[in-house]
Chains A and B, each alone.
Chain A
Amino acid sequence: MKLTVNGQAHEVDVEANMPLLWVLRDELGLTGTKYGCGIAQCGACTVHMNGMAVRSCQLPVAAAQGKITTIEGLSGSDDAATTANLHRVQQAWIEHQVPQCGYCQSGQLMAAASLLSSNPSPSDADIDAAMAGNLCRCGTYTRIRAAIHTAAKAGA
């Protein structure tokens, strides 16, 4: 099975119906993408396929034939070492100190980045609609909203 993740081509020897999530985590070692429910209810596993947010726990690897981007590749830079190179949602997340435990945050960030690429200046209601699939048991929602607004301004 061939797939392209964060601009890199990979060949993996797995069943066609293995969800992309587990290929990323266990086969490719990209553990930034998380398992939370396995049934498309929590959003912890959100990645991009051709720029669109998808639930990797529901996407068989055989169907993951577009350009896959995970949290590790969101900045688009090999050097995530400096904050300046991060994606603007990541910068806004740091500015607003969004994460608590952090476990849901890769998914939140991927969903937020995808929202901003289709809607550069979302309202609170747009944010709520786009982010409602991403559960956060720590309750970081008010800061997520604020950070998305900040990131939107940074992109304007």
Chain B
Amino acid sequence: MGTLKKITRRTFLIASTAIAGGVAFGTYQYQKPTPNPLLADGMGDADTVSLNPYLKINQDGVTVITPKAEMGQGVHSMFAMLVAEELDLDWQTIKTEHGPASNAYFNVALMRPMAGFHDYDQSERANSVRAYTEIASKFLGMQITGGSTSAPDGFVKLRSAGASARLTLTLAAAQQWGVAATTLQTENGHVINPENGDKLSYTELAVAAADIAAPARPPLRDPAQWRYLGQSMPRPDIPAKTIGAAQFASDIRLPDMLHATVRMSPRFGAGIQSADTQTAAAMPGIDKIIQLGNEGFAVIANNTWRALQAANAIQVEWEAASYPPDNAGIMQLYEDSFNTAPNGTFEQTGDVDLAFADVNSDEIIAAEYRVPYLAHATMEPMSAVAQVTENRIDLWTGAQSPTGTRDMVAAAAGMSKDQVHIHTTLLGGGFGRRAEADFALQAYQIARQTAGRPVKVSWSREEDMRHDFYRPAAIARLKGLMDNTKPRALDAQIASPSIMLSMSKRAPMPALGPDQLIAEGTAGQPDQIEHIRIRGYAPELAIPIGFWRSVGASFNGFVHESFMDEMAAHKDLDPIAMKLATLGDLSEVGTKVVQKVKEISGWNGRNQANGVGRGFAYTLSFGAHTAQVIDVSMTDRGVKIDKIYCAVDVGTALDPRNIVAQIESGIIYGLSAAISGDLTFKDGEVVQSNFHNNTALRIHQVPPIDVAILENNPSITGVGEPGTPPAIPALANAIFALTGKRLRELPLNRHIDFV
């Protein structure tokens, strides 16, 4: 059949392919449509093809442009399904391509959280305001993969692209045959006349169809008729990933290419004090060593290993850091921030102070939680290939934010945006790390000095772990008060630096006052509690922080749900019963998720007679209500996780097997952070440098995971992140059930051993 090789070659040939006679189709016009990037560089005919850039048709058939970073979440497959569903493409021969960086691929769902409603509010009013935010998203024009937005972003847009193309192709066939379009059908890439069996392929019809005006909002198929959506489809990217043919940025090879690596200051914001590069420069295979600003060095060589060896051989003294050199000092700044004005108050109902003033102090439950900084530790260390010629920059890299990367490189080079060509490769993991442009900018700076020769910049694992935009550490102080069945008052203070402020210093992104990321996951929960106050405090440090899978919820899920478990235990309540009481009538979707996890786990309390402790947690993050139960037992080597249950509501399940994979992935990522993810400072430098001292979960630590998918939410949600937040407290709560020990600091292996 030859399919495998074909898919592999076509999908992963990164260089842009000009298509002879290629035609791009479009739909989904706003009043002023964004130019179709597929029509640039003389591809197709700009005058006659209506907009929208999700399809290319040539002699080889249809290619679906899937302009999201494929970092393992299966988004290329999902986007192709959305188009194929409406366009009647043959899945066996489906082709996907990331496509160029373009504002035309702006993320319409990006601003939805800014609508000013709680995520659990699915009223018509809330959803119509959310729909309006799409205009702001278009204005921003940001092509971003993140925030679990791909499903809501693509759900209507991609189906519209498919439906609109199908209409124009059908009209083109009708014209050619002289029959009414309504009598025709489409099937597997062809228009068919059922009357006489006439058949024309989309390829044959493409040029004529391009002359037909495409409807902006074509009717979409009734979900009851869906053929692909709702099914577990084999992902087109998987065959190449089993034969070593998948191309990550690290794997790009270009004629005459050099290999480089970097050695950057291990103290953030601190430069070079003195350095000797002589020995390093004289090592075999070294082309040259250049300085990157005052922040470090790049070693350019003819082989990556030689570059890595020479980078280690550079003798350098670094300046001192502006922040305290060790963990104790850093965390002191967090503690001090509680004495400053809050960065924001993110929930306020009732009168918390009055509620606490009214009771005996022994009724007040108080606790402090702590979490460390964390690295993303994507499996592929940061990498990019750059080539700089007089009028043009080409960058091959795994970019979660290709337009942002393009704009920052263009600004650095003093070139126009259309002189910078981003070729987005597959990502060896993203988790938010590859939303940053630092490594791409660096590759540009290096390639500027290689006289037009392309250069591949590969970071060592050590550079990667010690130069991240970390998940910030946090301290949370909570006070609570119980009624008989649920909390009556909750007062939370969370200290964690503002990610938006850190971002605004390196990217064209404003820091807009209060940063709700500090509190998301403690705030925004469907808590029907009479008195609530949630305040955030933002210590400022020069340690770079960024978006780490599930962002603020990655620690607030732990904080909120551990504390809920403490409150339940205080009154000897079952945590699931208390959760259902706390949800009240705020969210039926949430209630059903909790009931579902109770059902699939056969929950009958946290303590089991057979030496099993069970922990429950529920977090609403990125719009997805997610509840988990984790079972643990004690062995002579420490705590063992025996089983994990998860119920999640995604609104509409596009590809169930892939949703399960994403949820499992999120859970495992969360549990790595819960158990062993750690990052500490000494001498102003990150101590952890590789997987020996910053470990992640391995196969023997991961038990069977049962995932139940629900579809009660009227809005479709993403699934990349929601699995992560509740996994951490579910584990800590299970350990409490098993041992009676309440662990309030991560990673848990500082306090208890694990298998």
Q: Is the CB of A103 within 8 A of B242?
A: no
State how many residues of chain B have any CB contact under 8 Å with chain A: 70
Complex formed: what's the CA distance from A41 to B690 in Å? 8
Task: Offer 20 A-B interface pairs, CB within 8 angstroms, sorted by A.
Answer: A21-B305, A26-B305, A30-B244, A32-B245, A36-B381, A36-B461, A36-B691, A38-B308, A38-B460, A41-B692, A83-B3, A83-B239, A94-B242, A101-B426, A101-B429, A106-B244, A131-B698, A137-B379, A137-B429, A139-B702
Establish whether residues A39 and B692, one from each chain, have CB atoms under 8 Å apart when the complex forms.
Answer: yes
Distance in angstroms between the alpha carbons of A14 and B667 in the assembled complex: 43
**A138-B429 in contact (CB<8A):** yes
Known interface pairs A102-B246, A137-B669. Does A129 touch B691 (Cβ–Cβ under 8 Å)? no
B135–chain A nearest beta-carbon distance, Å: 33
User: Any chain B CB within 8 A of the CB of A109?
Assistant: yes
Bound complex: CA of A60 vs CA of B707, how far in Å?
44
Contact B239 A141 (CB under 8 A): no
The segment from B126-134, B230-238, B326-334, B739-747 found at the interface with A is: B230-238
Cβ contact within 8 Å between A37 and B461: yes
Nearest residue (CB) in B for A73 is B244
**Contact present for A101 and B427 (CB under 8 Å):** yes
Chain A residue with Cβ nearest B667: A139
Within 8 A of A (CB), among B418-470: 426-431, 458, 460-461
A90: B residues at CB distance < 8 A: 242-243
Determine the distance from Cα of A69 to Cα of B4 in the docked complex, in whole angstroms: 21
Inter-chain contacts of B700 with A (CB < 8 A): 128-129, 132
Would you call B380 an interface residue if the criterion is a C-beta within 8 Å of the partner chain's C-beta atoms? yes
- Top 8 closest A-B pairs, CB basis? A32-B244, A139-B668, A100-B72, A103-B428, A101-B72, A102-B241, A71-B244, A22-B305
* Chain A residues in 8 Å Cβ range of B313: none
A33 to B1, CA, bound (A): 26
Chain A residue with Cβ nearest B661: A100
From A27, A93, A102, A134, B699 is in contact (CB under 8 Å) with A134
Contact for A138 among B6, B657, B665, CB less than 8 A: B665
Task: Tell me whether A82 is interfacial, beta carbon within 8 Å.
Answer: yes
Which residues on B are within 8 Å of A, measured CB to CB?
Answer: 1-6, 70-74, 232, 234-235, 237-248, 250-251, 253, 259, 284, 303-306, 308, 377-381, 426-431, 458, 460-461, 657-658, 661, 664-669, 690-692, 696-700, 702, 704-705
The answer, yes or no, to whether A67 is at the interface (CB within 8 Å) is: no
B3 engages A141 (CB within 8 Å): no
Contact (Cβ within 8 A) B303 A101: no
B-contact 0/1 string along A23-55, CB 8 Å cutoff:
001110111111111110110100000000000
Residues of A within 8 A of B699 (CB): 127-128, 131-132, 134, 136, 141, 144-145
Of the candidates A103, A135, A139, the one whose C-beta lies within 8 Å of that of B691 is A135
Instruction: Considering the complex, give the chain B residue whose CB is closest to the CB of A83.
Output: B4
Contacts of A106 in B (CB 8 A): 244
Query: B residues within 8 A CB of A70?
Result: 244
What's the nearest-Cβ distance from chain A to residue B482, in Å? Answer: 36
**A101, B243: Cβ atoms under 8 Å?**
no
Selected from A79, A83, A105, A134, the residue in CB contact (under 8 A) with B241 is A105
Residues of chain B within 8 A (CB-CB) of A26 are 259, 303-305
B244–A33 CB distance below 8 A: yes
B237 / chain A contacts, CB cutoff of 8 Å: 99, 102
Instruction: Select from chain B the residue with minimum beta-carbon distance to A129.
Output: B700
- Please state if A41 and B243 are interface contacts (CB–CB under 8 Å): no
Report the Cα distance A140→B242, complex, angstroms. 13
Q: In the complex, A105 Cα to B377 Cα: how many Å?
A: 16
Given contacts A31-B250, A99-B241, 9 further A-B contacts (CB under 8 A): A26-B305, A80-B4, A81-B4, A82-B2, A97-B235, A102-B428, A132-B700, A138-B72, A141-B668
Known A-B contacts A27-B303, A103-B379, A141-B702; the reply to A37 vs B690 at CB < 8 A is: yes
**Considering the chains assembled together, what is the distance between the CA atoms of A134 and B306 in angstroms?**
25
Return the chain B residue nearest A148 by Cβ: B699
Q: Judging by beta carbons under 8 Å apart, are B303 and A14 in contact? A: yes
Q: Bound state CA distance, A102 and B74, in angstroms?
A: 11
The residue on B at minimum CB distance from A106 is B244
| A139 CB contacts on chain B under 8 angstroms | 664-669, 697, 702
Which residue of chain B has the shortest Cβ distance to A40 in the bound complex? B692
The answer to whether A99 and B303 touch (CB under 8 A), given A31-B250, A34-B250, A80-B4, is no
Considering only CB atoms, which chain B residue lies closest to A93 in the complex? B242
Rounded to whole angstroms, the CA-CA distance of A72 and B251 in the bound complex is 14
| A102 adjacent to B72 (CB under 8 Å) | yes
Interface string of A48-89 (1 = CB under 8 A from B): 000000000000000000000011101100011111001000
How far does the alpha carbon of A39 sit from the alpha carbon of B691 in the complex, in Å? 9
**Distance in angstroms between the alpha carbons of A19 and B460 in the assembled complex:** 14
Is there contact, CB below 8 Å, between B664 and A136? no
Give the Cβ gap from A40 to chain B, nearest Cβ, in Å. 9
Cross-chain contact A80 with B243 (CB below 8 angstroms): yes
A154–B568 Cα distance when bound, in Å, is 50
Give the Cβ gap from B622 to chain A, nearest Cβ, in Å: 18
Q: Closest CB-CB distance, B236 to chain A, in whole Å?
A: 11
Answer whether residue A1 sits at the interface, using C-beta atoms and an 8 A cutoff.
no
Check A142 against B239 for contact (C-beta < 8 Å). Answer: no
Q: Which residues of B contact A86 (CB under 8 A)?
A: 242-243
- In the complex, whether A104 has a CB less than 8 A from a CB of chain B is yes
Q: Is A140 a contact of B665 with CB atoms below 8 Å?
A: yes
Q: Could you say which residues of chain B place their CB within 8 Å of the CB of A74?
A: 243-244
